[in-house]
Amino acid sequence: MKQTSIFDVISPIMIGPSSSHTAGAVRLGLLARNIYNRPFQKIVFRLYNSYALTGKGHGTEKGLLAGVMGFGVDDRRIKDVFEHVENIDYAFEYEENFKKHPNSVDFIFDDMKIYGESIGAGEVLIRKIDDFEVELTGKYNTLVLVYDDVAGMISKVTTIIQQKNINIATLHCDRYSKGGKASMVISIDGELDARTVSDVKALDKVYFVTYVKKLDE
């Protein structure tokens, strides 16, 4: 039986009207912001299926934009978020695509594409960063890296984390092809300091490292 909490049923405190289409959209935006983790001037949101069809009535566009701007799910500015945007060029696209989840979205930055799904009751899942399959829920601090698929990489990275005496909650790997580019997603209990993250970055054959902070409860 899954672990449940009282606070799953008497919260979150949020801007309405829909936990999946509004609060979920904000949380997806916040996660995309944490993954991208640097300033940006331009973003395109591609909304799929129910997000595309009923998004307007549920404030889904507002929620997504508010999220990438760093607003929390209970921020009253969400309602008028378009008036709060400064120096971000944004656009929305809509697509029906039944291979995608009913409530899903692409965050398209200039040099990165992030795909996420709102899976119900405000819970979200980031499923893809560029073409790599990942699984990010925002419930754990998570280290994401892209590297060359060579022997010993998992051991090198986990050793660095282990040296800080930090427990790994989950570990997920994916690769394009044998010997090609690969991705690793490590969610942890506790926090990684900047030094540990840069130690991972300094490893040979590692191209991209981002430390994604968990979302506030």
Partner 1 sequence: MYTFEQLLNKNEEIWKAAQEFEAKSCEVPVETVRKCALNSLHAMKEAVKTGLNSTVMSMSGMCGDDCDRLQKYYSKNPSIFGHVFEKILEYSLATSEENIRMGKIAACPTAGSCGIVPSVLLALAEEFKKSEEEQINALLTAGEVGRIISGKVALAGAVAGCQAECGTASAMAAAAAVQLLGGNPKQIVNAVGLSLKNLLGLTCDPVCGLVEIPCVKRNPFMAIHAMCACEMALAGVETKIPVDEIVDAMEQTGQLMSPALKESSLGGLARTKTALELKKKLFNL
Shortest Cβ 54–partner 1 spacing (Å): 4
| Contact letters for partner 1, residues 3-42 (x by CB under 8 A) | xxxxxxxxxxxxxxxxxx-xx-------------------
Q: What is the DSSP secondary-structure string of 118-180?
A: EEETTEEEEEEETTEEEEE-SSSEEEEEEEE--TTHHHHHHHHHHHTT--EEEEEEEESSTTS
Site for partner 1 in 106-135 (CB under 8 A): 120-122
The stretch among 46-54, 126-134, 170-178, 192-200 that binds partner 1 (CB under 8 A) is 46-54
Strands 103-109 and 89-95, bridge-based pairing = unpaired
Shortest Cβ 31–partner 1 spacing (Å): 19
Shortest Cβ 11–partner 1 spacing (Å): 5
Cα separations in angstroms, 15 against 150, 191, 204: 46, 29, 45
**146: contact with partner 1 by CB under 8 A:** no
CA dist., res. 111 & res. 28, Å (int): 18
CA dist., res. 136 & res. 67, Å (int): 16
| Contact letters for partner 1, residues 192-211 (x by CB under 8 A) | --------------------
Closest listed residue to residue 142, CA positions, set 197, 181, 182, 99: 197
| Contact letters for partner 1, residues 52-81 (x by CB under 8 A) | -xx-xxxx--x-----------x-x-xx--
CA dist., res. 123 & res. 5, Å (int): 13
Interface with partner 1 (CB under 8 A): 1-20, 22-23, 50, 53-54, 56-59, 62, 74, 76, 78-79, 102, 120-122
